[in-house]
Structure 1
Amino acid sequence: MKLSEAWTLYEQDRQLDGYSPYTLKSYKLQSRLFIEHVGDLELEEVDFRMIKAYLAKDAARLKPSSLANRMKYFKAVFKWALYEGYISHNPAAKLRDPKMGKRVPKAMNEESIETLRESCETPLEHAIIEVFFTTGCRIGEVARLQRGAIDWEDRSMKVIGKGDKEREVYFTVKCAIWLKKYFNSRKDTNTSLFVTERKYKSEGGQPRPMSIAQLRWVVKRIARRAGIENVYPHKLRHSYATHLLNNDAPLEVIQSFLGHSKLETTRIYAELSGERRRQLYKKYF
Protein backbone atom coordinates (compact mmCIF):
# COMPACT_ATOMS: atom_id res chain seq x y z
CA MET A 1 0.00 0.00 0.00
CA LYS A 2 1.34 3.40 -1.02
CA LEU A 3 1.55 6.42 1.28
CA SER A 4 -1.24 8.23 -0.59
CA GLU A 5 -3.56 5.23 -0.34
CA ALA A 6 -2.79 4.86 3.35
CA TRP A 7 -3.67 8.49 3.96
CA THR A 8 -7.02 8.13 2.20
CA LEU A 9 -7.95 5.10 4.32
CA TYR A 10 -6.68 6.72 7.52
CA GLU A 11 -8.69 9.88 6.87
CA GLN A 12 -11.86 7.89 6.22
CA ASP A 13 -11.43 5.88 9.42
CA ARG A 14 -10.81 8.95 11.54
CA GLN A 15 -13.74 10.82 10.03
CA LEU A 16 -15.96 7.93 11.09
CA ASP A 17 -14.38 8.14 14.57
CA GLY A 18 -15.35 11.81 14.80
CA TYR A 19 -11.84 13.26 14.71
CA SER A 20 -11.50 17.02 14.50
CA PRO A 21 -11.53 18.20 10.85
CA TYR A 22 -8.80 20.70 11.77
CA THR A 23 -6.51 17.90 12.98
CA LEU A 24 -7.15 15.91 9.81
CA LYS A 25 -6.52 18.98 7.67
CA SER A 26 -3.14 19.42 9.39
CA TYR A 27 -2.25 15.75 8.93
CA LYS A 28 -3.31 15.86 5.29
CA LEU A 29 -0.87 18.70 4.65
CA GLN A 30 1.95 16.75 6.31
CA SER A 31 1.08 13.69 4.25
CA ARG A 32 1.29 15.71 1.03
CA LEU A 33 4.59 17.37 2.00
CA PHE A 34 6.19 14.07 2.97
CA ILE A 35 5.10 12.42 -0.28
CA GLU A 36 6.47 15.38 -2.26
CA HIS A 37 9.80 14.91 -0.44
CA VAL A 38 10.27 11.13 -0.65
CA GLY A 39 7.83 10.10 -3.35
CA ASP A 40 4.69 7.98 -3.08
CA LEU A 41 6.48 5.02 -1.54
CA GLU A 42 5.08 1.76 -0.27
CA LEU A 43 4.42 1.94 3.47
CA GLU A 44 6.94 -0.83 4.18
CA GLU A 45 9.66 1.16 2.39
CA VAL A 46 9.48 4.00 4.93
CA ASP A 47 11.97 3.61 7.77
CA PHE A 48 12.94 5.60 10.84
CA ARG A 49 16.01 7.19 9.23
CA MET A 50 13.90 8.46 6.33
CA ILE A 51 11.37 10.09 8.67
CA LYS A 52 14.13 11.54 10.85
CA ALA A 53 15.92 13.01 7.81
CA TYR A 54 12.69 14.59 6.58
CA LEU A 55 12.00 16.19 9.97
CA ALA A 56 15.60 17.32 10.43
CA LYS A 57 15.75 19.28 7.18
CA ASP A 58 13.53 22.05 8.61
CA ALA A 59 14.30 21.61 12.29
CA ALA A 60 16.56 24.67 12.48
CA ARG A 61 13.84 27.07 11.33
CA LEU A 62 10.86 25.51 13.10
CA LYS A 63 9.71 26.09 16.63
CA PRO A 64 9.76 22.93 18.78
CA SER A 65 5.96 22.99 18.89
CA SER A 66 5.76 23.07 15.07
CA LEU A 67 8.20 20.18 14.83
CA ALA A 68 6.17 18.24 17.38
CA ASN A 69 3.05 18.80 15.29
CA ARG A 70 4.78 17.30 12.26
CA MET A 71 5.75 14.28 14.33
CA LYS A 72 2.11 13.76 15.34
CA TYR A 73 1.24 12.92 11.75
CA PHE A 74 3.85 10.16 11.54
CA LYS A 75 3.00 8.75 14.98
CA ALA A 76 -0.72 8.68 14.25
CA VAL A 77 -0.68 7.27 10.73
CA PHE A 78 1.97 4.59 11.24
CA LYS A 79 0.47 3.48 14.55
CA TRP A 80 -2.82 3.08 12.72
CA ALA A 81 -1.15 1.23 9.81
CA LEU A 82 0.49 -1.22 12.24
CA TYR A 83 -2.79 -1.82 14.07
CA GLU A 84 -4.62 -2.43 10.77
CA GLY A 85 -1.92 -4.88 9.65
CA TYR A 86 -0.67 -2.85 6.70
CA ILE A 87 2.92 -2.83 8.04
CA SER A 88 4.89 -5.28 10.18
CA HIS A 89 6.67 -2.63 12.28
CA ASN A 90 6.16 1.04 13.14
CA PRO A 91 9.01 3.24 11.81
CA ALA A 92 7.73 6.23 13.81
CA ALA A 93 7.73 4.42 17.16
CA LYS A 94 11.15 5.82 18.11
CA LEU A 95 10.22 9.46 17.48
CA ARG A 96 10.59 11.60 20.59
CA ASP A 97 8.99 15.00 20.92
CA PRO A 98 11.49 17.88 20.94
CA LYS A 99 12.19 19.50 24.26
CA MET A 100 9.91 22.48 24.62
CA GLY A 101 10.22 25.29 27.11
CA LYS A 102 7.20 26.05 29.21
CA ARG A 103 4.96 28.38 27.26
CA VAL A 104 3.06 30.95 29.27
CA PRO A 105 -0.15 32.05 27.55
CA LYS A 106 -0.42 35.78 26.91
CA ALA A 107 -3.43 37.61 28.31
CA MET A 108 -4.83 41.13 28.04
CA ASN A 109 -5.33 43.33 31.07
CA GLU A 110 -8.75 44.75 31.90
CA GLU A 111 -7.93 48.18 30.50
CA SER A 112 -7.07 46.66 27.11
CA ILE A 113 -10.25 44.60 27.14
CA GLU A 114 -12.35 47.71 27.81
CA THR A 115 -10.49 49.62 25.07
CA LEU A 116 -11.30 46.78 22.69
CA ARG A 117 -14.96 46.92 23.69
CA GLU A 118 -15.14 50.67 23.18
CA SER A 119 -13.61 50.31 19.71
CA CYS A 120 -16.44 48.09 18.44
CA GLU A 121 -18.70 49.91 15.96
CA THR A 122 -21.42 47.39 15.11
CA PRO A 123 -23.58 44.91 17.03
CA LEU A 124 -21.67 42.12 15.24
CA GLU A 125 -18.32 43.37 16.53
CA HIS A 126 -19.64 43.86 20.06
CA ALA A 127 -21.21 40.38 20.06
CA ILE A 128 -18.03 38.68 18.82
CA ILE A 129 -15.81 40.31 21.45
CA GLU A 130 -18.27 39.54 24.25
CA VAL A 131 -18.72 35.91 23.21
CA PHE A 132 -14.97 35.27 23.05
CA PHE A 133 -14.13 37.08 26.29
CA THR A 134 -17.07 36.02 28.48
CA THR A 135 -17.37 32.36 27.40
CA GLY A 136 -13.67 31.51 26.93
CA CYS A 137 -14.53 29.48 23.83
CA ARG A 138 -11.99 28.37 21.26
CA ILE A 139 -12.39 29.96 17.85
CA GLY A 140 -13.40 26.65 16.25
CA GLU A 141 -16.12 26.23 18.87
CA VAL A 142 -17.52 29.68 18.13
CA ALA A 143 -17.42 29.07 14.36
CA ARG A 144 -19.58 25.95 14.83
CA LEU A 145 -22.10 27.54 17.20
CA GLN A 146 -25.74 27.71 16.16
CA ARG A 147 -28.31 30.21 17.36
CA GLY A 148 -30.35 27.33 18.72
CA ALA A 149 -27.55 26.44 21.15
CA ILE A 150 -28.36 29.50 23.29
CA ASP A 151 -30.35 29.18 26.52
CA TRP A 152 -31.36 32.79 27.19
CA GLU A 153 -32.83 32.07 30.61
CA ASP A 154 -29.61 30.54 31.98
CA ARG A 155 -27.39 32.66 29.73
CA SER A 156 -25.57 29.57 28.56
CA MET A 157 -24.61 27.80 25.33
CA LYS A 158 -23.77 24.22 24.44
CA VAL A 159 -20.52 24.03 22.48
CA ILE A 160 -18.70 21.12 20.87
CA GLY A 161 -15.05 21.16 21.91
CA LYS A 162 -11.99 19.06 21.20
CA GLY A 163 -12.63 15.36 20.85
CA ASP A 164 -16.25 16.13 19.93
CA LYS A 165 -16.97 16.72 23.62
CA GLU A 166 -19.97 18.84 24.51
CA ARG A 167 -19.82 21.33 27.36
CA GLU A 168 -21.92 24.18 28.65
CA VAL A 169 -20.45 27.67 28.70
CA TYR A 170 -21.95 30.81 30.19
CA PHE A 171 -22.10 34.45 29.20
CA THR A 172 -22.82 37.76 30.89
CA VAL A 173 -25.81 40.11 30.73
CA LYS A 174 -23.74 42.48 28.57
CA CYS A 175 -23.01 39.63 26.15
CA ALA A 176 -26.72 38.70 26.03
CA ILE A 177 -27.67 42.31 25.23
CA TRP A 178 -25.24 42.54 22.32
CA LEU A 179 -26.21 39.13 20.96
CA LYS A 180 -29.87 40.17 20.91
CA LYS A 181 -29.01 43.48 19.24
CA TYR A 182 -26.96 41.59 16.67
CA PHE A 183 -29.73 39.09 15.94
CA ASN A 184 -32.25 41.94 15.63
CA SER A 185 -29.99 43.57 13.04
CA ARG A 186 -29.93 40.45 10.89
CA LYS A 187 -32.46 39.84 8.13
CA ASP A 188 -31.25 36.38 7.11
CA THR A 189 -32.51 32.90 7.95
CA ASN A 190 -29.09 31.36 8.58
CA THR A 191 -28.98 29.34 11.80
CA SER A 192 -25.29 30.02 12.52
CA LEU A 193 -24.46 32.23 15.50
CA PHE A 194 -22.29 34.53 13.39
CA VAL A 195 -22.64 35.10 9.65
CA THR A 196 -20.64 37.04 7.10
CA GLU A 197 -21.27 40.73 6.61
CA ARG A 198 -21.34 40.10 2.88
CA LYS A 199 -24.29 38.42 1.14
CA TYR A 200 -23.68 35.89 -1.65
CA LYS A 201 -25.63 35.51 -4.88
CA SER A 202 -24.86 31.79 -4.86
CA GLU A 203 -26.62 31.57 -1.49
CA GLY A 204 -29.75 33.31 -2.74
CA GLY A 205 -28.62 36.67 -1.45
CA GLN A 206 -27.99 35.23 2.01
CA PRO A 207 -24.80 35.46 4.10
CA ARG A 208 -22.69 32.41 4.91
CA PRO A 209 -21.63 31.11 8.32
CA MET A 210 -18.59 33.07 9.43
CA SER A 211 -15.43 31.00 9.08
CA ILE A 212 -12.54 30.80 11.51
CA ALA A 213 -10.47 33.07 9.26
CA GLN A 214 -13.27 35.62 9.07
CA LEU A 215 -13.81 35.63 12.84
CA ARG A 216 -10.09 36.16 13.35
CA TRP A 217 -10.12 39.01 10.81
CA VAL A 218 -12.98 40.84 12.57
CA VAL A 219 -11.12 40.66 15.90
CA LYS A 220 -7.97 42.02 14.20
CA ARG A 221 -10.02 44.82 12.64
CA ILE A 222 -11.32 45.89 16.04
CA ALA A 223 -7.85 45.68 17.57
CA ARG A 224 -6.34 47.89 14.84
CA ARG A 225 -9.04 50.46 15.48
CA ALA A 226 -8.26 50.28 19.21
CA GLY A 227 -4.54 50.70 18.57
CA ILE A 228 -3.71 47.42 20.32
CA GLU A 229 -1.21 45.05 18.72
CA ASN A 230 -1.13 41.27 18.72
CA VAL A 231 -4.78 40.58 19.54
CA TYR A 232 -6.36 37.31 18.44
CA PRO A 233 -9.31 35.17 19.62
CA HIS A 234 -7.21 32.71 21.62
CA LYS A 235 -5.69 35.63 23.52
CA LEU A 236 -9.22 36.54 24.62
CA ARG A 237 -9.61 32.96 25.85
CA HIS A 238 -6.40 33.33 27.87
CA SER A 239 -7.70 36.63 29.22
CA TYR A 240 -10.94 34.94 30.27
CA ALA A 241 -9.02 32.28 32.21
CA THR A 242 -6.80 34.89 33.84
CA HIS A 243 -9.82 36.95 34.85
CA LEU A 244 -11.31 33.89 36.56
CA LEU A 245 -8.03 33.14 38.31
CA ASN A 246 -7.67 36.72 39.56
CA ASN A 247 -11.15 36.45 41.04
CA ASP A 248 -10.21 33.33 43.04
CA ALA A 249 -11.90 30.72 40.84
CA PRO A 250 -10.50 27.23 41.67
CA LEU A 251 -8.40 25.63 38.95
CA GLU A 252 -10.85 22.73 38.69
CA VAL A 253 -13.64 25.19 37.86
CA ILE A 254 -11.51 26.99 35.26
CA GLN A 255 -10.61 23.59 33.77
CA SER A 256 -14.30 22.77 33.39
CA PHE A 257 -15.13 26.14 31.83
CA LEU A 258 -12.25 25.92 29.34
CA GLY A 259 -12.92 22.30 28.42
CA HIS A 260 -9.40 21.12 29.28
CA SER A 261 -9.10 17.35 29.61
CA LYS A 262 -6.08 17.64 31.92
CA LEU A 263 -5.67 19.89 34.95
CA GLU A 264 -2.00 20.33 34.04
CA THR A 265 -3.06 22.35 31.00
CA THR A 266 -5.11 24.68 33.17
CA ARG A 267 -2.36 24.91 35.78
CA ILE A 268 -0.29 26.98 33.33
CA TYR A 269 -2.58 29.89 34.11
CA ALA A 270 -1.58 29.78 37.76
CA GLU A 271 1.87 30.88 36.62
CA LEU A 272 0.51 33.45 34.22
CA SER A 273 -1.07 36.26 36.15
CA GLY A 274 1.29 38.85 37.53
CA GLU A 275 -1.66 40.56 39.20
CA ARG A 276 -2.63 37.37 41.01
CA ARG A 277 0.96 36.85 42.18
CA ARG A 278 1.07 40.42 43.49
CA GLN A 279 -2.18 39.87 45.40
CA LEU A 280 -0.86 36.72 47.04
CA TYR A 281 2.45 38.41 47.92
CA LYS A 282 0.62 41.24 49.67
CA LYS A 283 -1.60 38.75 51.47
CA TYR A 284 1.12 36.47 52.79
CA PHE A 285 4.16 38.73 53.21
Structure 2
Amino acid sequence: MKIPIDLFENYLKNKGLKERTIENYIYYFNKFIHNRFNQESISKFLASPSNRNSIGRSFLVNLKKFLTMNRIELKIDQDYYNEIVEVELPSLTGRVKQTLVKPIPHGRIPLLEEALETEKLKLQLLITYYGALRLGEMLKIRILSFDWDEWKKDTSKWGECRVFGKGDKEGIALIPPDLMKRIARYIRSHDFLEVHGYLFIKESEKQDIKNRARIWQKNLRNAGIKSGITKLDNKREPVQGTRVYPHRLRHSYAFHLLKDKKIDIRYIQEVLRHTSIRSTQIYTLITKEELKRKMEEIDKES
Protein backbone atom coordinates (compact mmCIF):
# COMPACT_ATOMS: atom_id res chain seq x y z
CA MET A 1 0.00 0.00 0.00
CA LYS A 2 1.44 3.34 -1.04
CA ILE A 3 0.94 5.86 1.77
CA PRO A 4 -0.72 8.96 0.24
CA ILE A 5 1.39 12.05 0.91
CA ASP A 6 -1.50 14.46 0.33
CA LEU A 7 -3.67 12.86 3.01
CA PHE A 8 -0.74 12.82 5.44
CA GLU A 9 -0.07 16.51 4.78
CA ASN A 10 -3.75 17.39 5.35
CA TYR A 11 -3.64 15.41 8.60
CA LEU A 12 -0.68 17.49 9.78
CA LYS A 13 -2.39 20.76 8.81
CA ASN A 14 -5.57 19.76 10.66
CA LYS A 15 -3.47 19.19 13.77
CA GLY A 16 -2.57 22.88 13.61
CA LEU A 17 1.15 22.30 13.29
CA LYS A 18 3.43 25.12 12.23
CA GLU A 19 4.26 25.35 8.54
CA ARG A 20 7.95 24.72 9.19
CA THR A 21 7.13 21.57 11.19
CA ILE A 22 4.93 20.27 8.37
CA GLU A 23 7.70 20.93 5.86
CA ASN A 24 10.12 18.95 8.02
CA TYR A 25 7.73 15.99 8.33
CA ILE A 26 7.11 15.96 4.57
CA TYR A 27 10.88 16.00 4.05
CA TYR A 28 11.21 12.84 6.16
CA PHE A 29 8.11 11.35 4.55
CA ASN A 30 9.90 11.54 1.19
CA LYS A 31 12.93 9.85 2.77
CA PHE A 32 10.69 7.08 4.10
CA ILE A 33 10.61 5.21 0.80
CA HIS A 34 8.81 2.11 2.08
CA ASN A 35 5.23 1.26 1.16
CA ARG A 36 4.60 -0.58 4.42
CA PHE A 37 4.93 0.80 7.95
CA ASN A 38 6.35 -2.06 10.00
CA GLN A 39 9.32 -2.89 12.22
CA GLU A 40 11.56 -3.72 9.26
CA SER A 41 10.90 -0.45 7.42
CA ILE A 42 11.40 1.53 10.66
CA SER A 43 14.72 -0.22 11.31
CA LYS A 44 15.93 0.59 7.81
CA PHE A 45 14.81 4.22 8.12
CA LEU A 46 16.66 4.63 11.42
CA ALA A 47 19.76 2.88 10.07
CA SER A 48 20.67 6.26 8.59
CA PRO A 49 22.09 8.56 11.33
CA SER A 50 20.53 11.58 9.64
CA ASN A 51 17.06 10.18 10.38
CA ARG A 52 17.61 9.62 14.09
CA ASN A 53 17.24 13.20 15.27
CA SER A 54 14.20 14.38 17.22
CA ILE A 55 12.39 15.60 14.08
CA GLY A 56 12.85 12.29 12.28
CA ARG A 57 11.64 10.37 15.33
CA SER A 58 8.67 12.71 15.79
CA PHE A 59 7.79 12.19 12.13
CA LEU A 60 7.53 8.43 12.73
CA VAL A 61 5.23 8.97 15.70
CA ASN A 62 2.94 11.19 13.63
CA LEU A 63 2.96 8.81 10.67
CA LYS A 64 1.97 5.93 12.93
CA LYS A 65 -0.91 7.97 14.42
CA PHE A 66 -2.02 9.00 10.94
CA LEU A 67 -2.20 5.40 9.76
CA THR A 68 -4.07 4.10 12.80
CA MET A 69 -6.56 7.00 12.90
CA ASN A 70 -7.34 6.75 9.17
CA ARG A 71 -7.35 2.97 8.80
CA ILE A 72 -10.84 2.89 7.25
CA GLU A 73 -10.17 5.58 4.66
CA LEU A 74 -6.82 3.97 3.83
CA LYS A 75 -8.45 0.51 3.66
CA ILE A 76 -6.00 -0.98 6.17
CA ASP A 77 -7.05 -4.52 7.07
CA GLN A 78 -6.91 -5.96 10.59
CA ASP A 79 -3.61 -7.81 10.11
CA TYR A 80 -1.80 -4.74 8.82
CA TYR A 81 -3.42 -2.60 11.53
CA ASN A 82 -2.07 -4.97 14.20
CA GLU A 83 1.35 -4.79 12.58
CA ILE A 84 1.29 -0.98 12.72
CA VAL A 85 0.07 -0.81 16.31
CA GLU A 86 2.78 -3.18 17.54
CA VAL A 87 5.65 -1.25 15.93
CA GLU A 88 8.11 -0.02 18.56
CA LEU A 89 9.40 3.50 18.04
CA PRO A 90 12.40 5.19 19.71
CA SER A 91 11.79 7.63 22.54
CA LEU A 92 11.41 11.29 21.59
CA THR A 93 13.56 12.39 24.51
CA GLY A 94 17.09 11.52 25.52
CA ARG A 95 19.31 9.22 23.52
CA VAL A 96 17.84 7.37 20.60
CA LYS A 97 16.86 3.79 21.32
CA GLN A 98 18.45 2.26 18.25
CA THR A 99 17.79 -1.41 18.93
CA LEU A 100 14.19 -1.75 17.88
CA VAL A 101 13.88 -5.50 17.53
CA LYS A 102 14.43 -7.85 20.47
CA PRO A 103 16.07 -11.05 19.19
CA ILE A 104 14.54 -14.44 19.91
CA PRO A 105 17.13 -16.70 21.58
CA HIS A 106 18.37 -19.40 19.20
CA GLY A 107 17.30 -22.15 21.60
CA ARG A 108 13.68 -21.02 21.45
CA ILE A 109 13.27 -21.37 17.69
CA PRO A 110 12.29 -25.08 18.10
CA LEU A 111 9.38 -23.92 20.29
CA LEU A 112 8.05 -21.92 17.36
CA GLU A 113 8.51 -24.86 15.03
CA GLU A 114 6.59 -27.11 17.41
CA ALA A 115 3.75 -24.59 17.60
CA LEU A 116 3.24 -24.68 13.80
CA GLU A 117 0.96 -27.48 12.64
CA THR A 118 2.13 -28.47 9.15
CA GLU A 119 5.50 -29.29 7.60
CA LYS A 120 4.97 -26.50 5.11
CA LEU A 121 4.65 -23.92 7.89
CA LYS A 122 7.61 -25.39 9.75
CA LEU A 123 9.77 -25.13 6.63
CA GLN A 124 8.66 -21.54 6.05
CA LEU A 125 9.82 -20.75 9.59
CA LEU A 126 13.18 -22.52 9.31
CA ILE A 127 14.03 -21.19 5.85
CA THR A 128 13.16 -17.66 6.98
CA TYR A 129 15.34 -18.00 10.07
CA TYR A 130 18.39 -19.85 8.75
CA GLY A 131 18.29 -18.09 5.41
CA ALA A 132 17.79 -14.70 7.12
CA LEU A 133 15.06 -14.05 4.57
CA ARG A 134 12.74 -11.15 4.15
CA LEU A 135 9.07 -12.01 3.83
CA GLY A 136 8.95 -11.54 0.06
CA GLU A 137 12.15 -13.49 -0.47
CA MET A 138 10.75 -16.53 1.31
CA LEU A 139 7.40 -16.53 -0.49
CA LYS A 140 9.03 -16.25 -3.93
CA ILE A 141 11.26 -19.29 -3.50
CA ARG A 142 10.82 -21.78 -6.33
CA ILE A 143 11.71 -25.48 -6.43
CA LEU A 144 14.64 -24.73 -8.72
CA SER A 145 15.86 -21.89 -6.51
CA PHE A 146 18.11 -24.39 -4.73
CA ASP A 147 21.44 -25.63 -6.12
CA TRP A 148 20.25 -29.26 -6.04
CA ASP A 149 22.79 -30.66 -8.51
CA GLU A 150 25.77 -29.19 -6.70
CA TRP A 151 24.45 -29.95 -3.19
CA LYS A 152 23.76 -33.62 -4.00
CA LYS A 153 27.48 -34.11 -4.62
CA ASP A 154 27.97 -33.74 -0.87
CA THR A 155 24.77 -33.54 1.20
CA SER A 156 26.75 -32.87 4.38
CA LYS A 157 27.47 -29.35 3.16
CA TRP A 158 25.28 -26.26 3.21
CA GLY A 159 23.14 -25.62 0.19
CA GLU A 160 22.40 -22.42 -1.67
CA CYS A 161 19.05 -20.84 -2.43
CA ARG A 162 18.67 -18.05 -4.97
CA VAL A 163 16.33 -15.37 -3.64
CA PHE A 164 14.96 -12.14 -5.02
CA GLY A 165 14.50 -9.17 -2.73
CA LYS A 166 13.16 -5.68 -3.29
CA GLY A 167 13.31 -4.59 -6.89
CA ASP A 168 13.95 -8.25 -7.79
CA LYS A 169 17.53 -7.87 -6.59
CA GLU A 170 19.13 -11.31 -6.64
CA GLY A 171 20.95 -12.79 -3.67
CA ILE A 172 22.08 -16.13 -2.26
CA ALA A 173 20.80 -17.55 1.04
CA LEU A 174 22.75 -20.36 2.69
CA ILE A 175 20.69 -23.33 3.92
CA PRO A 176 21.92 -25.88 6.53
CA PRO A 177 22.29 -29.49 5.26
CA ASP A 178 19.60 -30.98 7.52
CA LEU A 179 17.14 -28.32 6.36
CA MET A 180 18.06 -29.01 2.71
CA LYS A 181 17.19 -32.66 3.30
CA ARG A 182 13.81 -31.76 4.80
CA ILE A 183 13.04 -29.46 1.87
CA ALA A 184 13.96 -32.25 -0.56
CA ARG A 185 11.64 -34.70 1.27
CA TYR A 186 8.85 -32.11 1.23
CA ILE A 187 9.20 -31.65 -2.52
CA ARG A 188 9.21 -35.41 -3.16
CA SER A 189 6.07 -35.91 -1.05
CA HIS A 190 4.04 -33.26 -2.91
CA ASP A 191 2.79 -33.27 -6.47
CA PHE A 192 4.16 -30.04 -7.87
CA LEU A 193 2.91 -29.31 -11.37
CA GLU A 194 6.24 -27.96 -12.57
CA VAL A 195 9.76 -27.60 -11.25
CA HIS A 196 9.67 -23.89 -12.01
CA GLY A 197 6.73 -23.38 -9.64
CA TYR A 198 6.80 -21.73 -6.22
CA LEU A 199 7.69 -23.93 -3.25
CA PHE A 200 5.11 -22.49 -0.84
CA ILE A 201 2.49 -20.98 -3.13
CA LYS A 202 0.07 -22.96 -5.25
CA GLU A 203 -0.33 -22.14 -8.93
CA SER A 204 -3.81 -20.77 -8.22
CA GLU A 205 -2.45 -18.47 -5.48
CA LYS A 206 0.53 -16.89 -7.25
CA GLN A 207 -1.49 -13.84 -8.32
CA ASP A 208 -2.28 -13.06 -4.69
CA ILE A 209 1.07 -13.21 -2.92
CA LYS A 210 0.06 -10.38 -0.56
CA ASN A 211 -2.76 -12.50 0.81
CA ARG A 212 -0.40 -15.45 1.28
CA ALA A 213 1.94 -13.10 3.13
CA ARG A 214 -0.84 -12.07 5.51
CA ILE A 215 -1.77 -15.71 6.15
CA TRP A 216 1.85 -16.61 6.92
CA GLN A 217 2.25 -13.64 9.26
CA LYS A 218 -0.93 -14.64 11.08
CA ASN A 219 0.29 -18.23 11.48
CA LEU A 220 3.63 -16.97 12.77
CA ARG A 221 1.95 -14.56 15.16
CA ASN A 222 -0.25 -17.36 16.56
CA ALA A 223 2.78 -19.64 16.92
CA GLY A 224 4.49 -16.92 18.92
CA ILE A 225 1.58 -16.87 21.36
CA LYS A 226 1.26 -20.65 21.54
CA SER A 227 5.00 -21.08 22.17
CA GLY A 228 5.03 -18.49 24.93
CA ILE A 229 7.53 -16.27 23.14
CA THR A 230 4.82 -13.67 22.65
CA LYS A 231 3.62 -12.48 26.04
CA LEU A 232 0.00 -11.44 26.61
CA ASP A 233 -1.24 -8.73 28.95
CA ASN A 234 -4.29 -9.00 31.21
CA LYS A 235 -6.50 -8.13 28.24
CA ARG A 236 -5.02 -11.02 26.24
CA GLU A 237 -3.28 -8.58 23.90
CA PRO A 238 0.37 -9.10 22.84
CA VAL A 239 2.87 -7.22 24.98
CA GLN A 240 4.78 -4.74 22.87
CA GLY A 241 8.10 -6.06 21.68
CA THR A 242 7.27 -9.75 22.10
CA ARG A 243 5.27 -10.43 18.92
CA VAL A 244 6.86 -12.81 16.41
CA TYR A 245 7.06 -11.65 12.79
CA PRO A 246 9.33 -12.42 9.80
CA HIS A 247 11.77 -9.56 10.27
CA ARG A 248 12.26 -10.53 13.91
CA LEU A 249 13.36 -14.00 12.77
CA ARG A 250 15.87 -12.46 10.35
CA HIS A 251 17.15 -10.14 13.08
CA SER A 252 17.38 -13.01 15.57
CA TYR A 253 19.54 -15.16 13.29
CA ALA A 254 21.90 -12.25 12.63
CA PHE A 255 22.21 -11.66 16.36
CA HIS A 256 22.78 -15.38 16.97
CA LEU A 257 25.67 -15.36 14.49
CA LEU A 258 27.17 -12.25 16.05
CA LYS A 259 26.72 -13.04 19.75
CA ASP A 260 26.70 -16.83 19.97
CA LYS A 261 28.89 -17.82 17.03
CA LYS A 262 31.17 -14.74 17.16
CA ILE A 263 30.94 -14.30 13.38
CA ASP A 264 32.58 -11.17 12.00
CA ILE A 265 30.06 -8.52 10.99
CA ARG A 266 31.40 -8.50 7.42
CA TYR A 267 30.29 -12.11 7.00
CA ILE A 268 26.92 -11.31 8.56
CA GLN A 269 26.54 -8.53 6.00
CA GLU A 270 26.81 -11.20 3.30
CA VAL A 271 24.35 -13.51 5.09
CA LEU A 272 21.79 -10.69 5.27
CA ARG A 273 22.58 -9.58 1.71
CA HIS A 274 23.04 -5.98 2.84
CA THR A 275 24.66 -3.66 0.32
CA SER A 276 25.91 -1.38 3.11
CA ILE A 277 27.66 -2.37 6.33
CA ARG A 278 25.68 0.41 8.03
CA SER A 279 22.49 -1.64 7.73
CA THR A 280 24.21 -4.58 9.42
CA GLN A 281 25.68 -2.55 12.27
CA ILE A 282 22.29 -2.28 13.97
CA TYR A 283 22.84 -5.86 15.16
CA THR A 284 25.94 -4.84 17.14
CA LEU A 285 24.07 -2.43 19.39
CA ILE A 286 22.94 -4.95 21.97
CA THR A 287 26.40 -6.42 22.38
CA LYS A 288 27.76 -2.95 23.12
CA GLU A 289 25.35 -2.65 26.03
CA GLU A 290 26.38 -6.08 27.24
CA LEU A 291 30.02 -5.03 27.04
CA LYS A 292 29.27 -2.00 29.20
CA ARG A 293 27.57 -4.20 31.81
CA LYS A 294 30.52 -6.59 31.77
CA MET A 295 32.97 -3.75 32.27
CA GLU A 296 30.87 -2.44 35.15
CA GLU A 297 30.98 -5.88 36.77
CA ILE A 298 34.77 -5.98 36.42
CA ASP A 299 35.01 -2.47 37.86
CA LYS A 300 33.01 -3.53 40.93
CA GLU A 301 35.25 -6.55 41.48
CA SER A 302 38.45 -4.50 41.39
Q: Within the alignment, does 1:166 sit opposite 2:170 as a pair?
A: yes
Unaligned 5+ runs, structure 1: 1-24, 39-47, 57-66, 75-95, 197-202
Listed as ranges, the matches of 1:7-86 within 5 Å are 25-26=1-2, 29-31=3-5, 33=7, 49=19, 52=22, 55=25, 68=28, 70-72=29-31
Deviation at 1:172, TM superposition (A): 0.9
* Cα distance in 1 for residues equivalent to 2:163 and 2:122: 20
1:213 corresponds to: 214
1:61 corresponds to: none
Q: Quick check: 1:241–1:254 contact (8 Å CA) kept in 2?
A: yes
Please report the RMSD computed on the Cα atoms of aligned residues, expressed in angstroms.
Answer: 3.8
Amino acid at match of 1:142: M
1:244 corresponds to: 257
1:153-185: per-residue Cα shift (whole Å, max 9, x none)? 151111122344211110112321332233234
Alpha-carbon distance change, 143 to 111 in structure 1, aligned in 2, over 3 angstroms: same
Structure number with greater Rg is 1
Deviation at 1:195, TM superposition (A): 1.9
Q: Quick check: 2:171–2:273 contact (8 Å CA) kept in 1?
A: yes
* Cα distance in 2 for residues equivalent to 1:275 and 1:174: 34
Unaligned 5+ runs, structure 2: 13-17, 34-52, 58-95, 152-157, 231-242
1:226 corresponds to: 227
Q: Quick check: 1:123–1:179 contact (8 Å CA) kept in 2?
A: no
1:268 corresponds to: 282
1:129-165: per-residue Cα shift (whole Å, max 9, x none)? 1101100011121122222111131511111223442
1:78-128: per-residue Cα shift (whole Å, max 9, x none)? xxxxxxxxxxxxxxxxxx993442421321012321211232332112101
TM-score normalised per structure 2: 0.57
Alpha-carbon distance change, 280 to 165 in structure 1, aligned in 2, over 3 angstroms: farther
SS at match of 1:216: helix
Alpha-carbon distance change, 72 to 176 in structure 1, aligned in 2, over 3 angstroms: same
TM-score normalised per structure 1: 0.60
Alpha-carbon distance change, 250 to 35 in structure 1, aligned in 2, over 3 angstroms: closer
SS at match of 2:161: strand
